[in-house]
């Protein structure tokens, strides 16, 4: 927790492998839902990034429709950032 000592009271940090196993299980469960998608952006054959999105029930504290989009993950290659569309 060297980079975030104020979070030390939350417990230890999972290893990258353990963290990925948990996240992977979440992603698989979300993909089993009918309203989850992985969107990709490519430059020819090179993957530049992806977004994992799903439609979920709206939070009760906001005056929104019954369902809203949730961006679960957004990943962009370092050399593709800031380039625009």
Q: Name the pTM for this structure.
A: 0.68
Instruction: Give the pLDDT band (50/70/90) at residue 2.
Output: low
DSSP conformation class of 60: T
The percent of residues in the chain predicted with pLDDT above 70, rounded, is: 89
pLDDT tens for 11-49 read: 778 899 999 999 999 989 989 987 899 999 999 999 999
Query: Which residues contact residue 69 at a Cβ distance below 8 angstroms, ignoring those fewer than 6 apart?
Result: 53, 54, 55, 56
Domain ranges across the chain:
35-85
């Amino acid at each position: 927790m060297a980079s975030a000592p104020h979070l030390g009271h939350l417990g230890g940090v999972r290893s990258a492998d353990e963290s990925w196993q948990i996240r992977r299980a979440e992603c698989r469960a979300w993909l089993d839902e009918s309203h989850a998608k992985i969107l990709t952006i490519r430059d020819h054959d090179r993957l530049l990034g992806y977004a994992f999105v799903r439609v979920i029930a709206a939070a009760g504290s906001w005056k929104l429709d019954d369902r809203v989009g949730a961006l679960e993950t957004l990943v962009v290659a370092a050399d593709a950032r800031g380039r625009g569309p």
